[in-house]
Amino acid sequence: MKILVTGGAGFIGSAVVRQAVARGHAVVNLDALTYAANLENVASVADSPLYAFEHVDIRDRAALDRVLADHRPDAILHLAAESHVDRSIDGPGAFIETNVTGTYNLLEAARAYWTAQGRPDAFRFHHISTDEVFGSLGETGQFTEDTPYDPRSPYSASKAASDHLVRAWHETYGLPVVLTNCSNNYGPFHFPEKLVPVVILKALAGQPIPVYGDGGNVRDWLYVEDHADALLTVLERGEIGRSYNIGGENEARNIDLVRTICAHLDDLRPEGAPHDRLIAFVTDRPGHDRRYAIDPTRIRTELGWRPSVTVEQGLRLTVEWYLANEDWWRPLLDRQGVGQRLGTA
């Protein structure tokens, strides 16, 4: 296949680009290169004849039409988004522009391109979304694909809006779409504003490790390479018009996740041990969802997909990667907003 990946210079998109090229797909990486992007993430495939890059903003409809006409992809994997909840609290406008209007532009460009091709059934518009659209769970229960949407942050509301647009373009125009809603990712190339890299890098620097609220918020943690594998599985075998929840089968409280990372660091960098002495509880995020949990039955039973690593294994790999790749993360600490407390409203 020739796959157009939007947001392929970001954390998850770059994992998809690397895996797709490794599987022999041709990939066009379309990315606006915002603060969260890094072309180093795809350096390992940059010289491949299967890889091309387009520096394009999904808010630019004319540029999207040009890219589709030039490259003629068989599928679009849409990951480009503003993705940080704390930034959405401080500046929701960018989230509406990219996640809602940008997705609308991409749907319209895809519809025009697909129609001009004679509306092939084999075409796919795969929209990548989050479990955060489902809102916040109590102590029990899990999100299924039928859970009603109940987004509570500007980020999750903008992603929910984009999901609705994608479904509407399928129902109204017949565009062959699939959707996935995924839990929290972690792993190599994770931008150092998200919890896992923040913990690793603060601990390595001997600085306080900020934990929001009481640390009791629960997330279902998924290793990013497993997510990329799941996305390619859904792209190849998912049913048109269907959505799939993707989870890591690894629920953990934030505080336990942070302690696990500290324990790995104690082992790998004993001179800083015990790293958990650096844990510092800070004021909670406004509207902080308490618990997310994914029921993965559909993707497991219909597509035979399961995550390949436990959170223990994945965190070990991640800590090892950050220890070995300071050249990658050190320059990112100077990017706007990194290391600052954002989203306190």
Ligand X SMILES: NC(=O)c1ccc[n+]([C@@H]2O[C@H](COP(=O)([O-])OP(=O)(O)OC[C@H]3O[C@@H](n4cnc5c(N)ncnc54)[C@H](O)[C@@H]3O)[C@@H](O)[C@H]2O)c1
Phi, psi for 123 (deg, rounded to 5): -70, 145
Q: Is 191 in the site for ligand X (CB under 6 A)?
A: yes
Q: Looking at 54, 82, 131, 251, which residue is catalytic? A: 131
Question: How many residues of this chain interact with ligand X, rule: CB under 6 A?
Answer: 30
Residue 155 annotated among the catalytic residues of the structure:
yes
Residue 239 annotated among the catalytic residues of the structure:
no
Nearer of residues 156 and 260 to ligand X, judged by Cβ: 156
Tokens of 221: 């943690």
The least CB distance from residue 41 to ligand X, in Å, is 8
Q: Which stretch binds ligand X (CB under 6 A): 63-71, 78-86, 113-121, 201-209?
A: 78-86
The least CB distance from residue 126 to ligand X, in Å, is 11
Q: Is 63 in the site for ligand X (CB under 6 A)?
A: no
Name which of residues 95 to 154 contact ligand X (CB under 6 A). Answer: 98, 102, 128, 130
- Among 281, 287, 293, 315, residue whose Cα is nearest residue 196: 315
Nearer of residues 14 and 260 to ligand X, judged by Cβ: 14
Residue 132 annotated among the catalytic residues of the structure:
yes
4 CB contacts (<8 Å, ≥6 apart)?
27, 28, 30, 67, 68, 71, 73, 75, 76, 77
Q: Is 80 in the site for ligand X (CB under 6 A)?
A: yes
Q: Is 212 in the site for ligand X (CB under 6 A)?
A: no
By the 10 Å C-beta count (0-12 exposed, 13-18 middle, 19+ buried), 178 is classed as buried
Using CA atoms, how far apart are residues 279 and 269, in angstroms rounded to an integer?
Answer: 17
Q: Is 166 in the site for ligand X (CB under 6 A)?
A: no
Phi, psi for 84 (deg, rounded to 5): -105, 115
What is the DSSP track for 119-160?
--TT-EEEEEEEGGGG----SS--B-TTSPP---SHHHHHHH
Using CA atoms, how far apart are residues 345 and 120, in angstroms rounded to an integer?
Answer: 47
**Beta-strand relationship, 251-253 and 218-220:** antiparallel
Q: Is 58 in the site for ligand X (CB under 6 A)?
A: yes
What is the DSSP track for 80-99?
-----HHHHHH-HHHHIIII
The least CB distance from residue 279 to ligand X, in Å, is 22
Q: Is 79 in the site for ligand X (CB under 6 A)?
A: yes
Tokens of 223: 């290793």
Q: Is 159 in the site for ligand X (CB under 6 A)?
A: yes
Using CA atoms, how far apart are residues 187 and 180, in angstroms rounded to an integer?
Answer: 19
Q: Is 7 in the site for ligand X (CB under 6 A)?
A: yes
Q: Is 182 in the site for ligand X (CB under 6 A)?
A: yes
Q: Which of 3, 4, 12, 311 binds ligand X (CB under 6 A)?
A: 12
Tokens 């497991």 label which residue? 300
Q: Is 48 in the site for ligand X (CB under 6 A)?
A: no
Q: Which stretch binds ligand X (CB under 6 A): 26-34, 68-76, 107-115, 235-243?
A: 26-34
Q: Which of 3, 10, 228, 255 binds ligand X (CB under 6 A)?
A: 10
- Among 4, 1, 8, residue whose Cα is nearest residue 228: 8
Q: Which of 27, 28, 37, 311 binds ligand X (CB under 6 A)?
A: 37
The least CB distance from residue 109 to ligand X, in Å, is 12
Residues that bind ligand X (CB under 6 A): 6-7, 9-13, 31-34, 36-37, 57-59, 79-83, 98, 102, 128, 130, 159, 182, 184-185, 191
Active site residue ranges: 131-132, 155
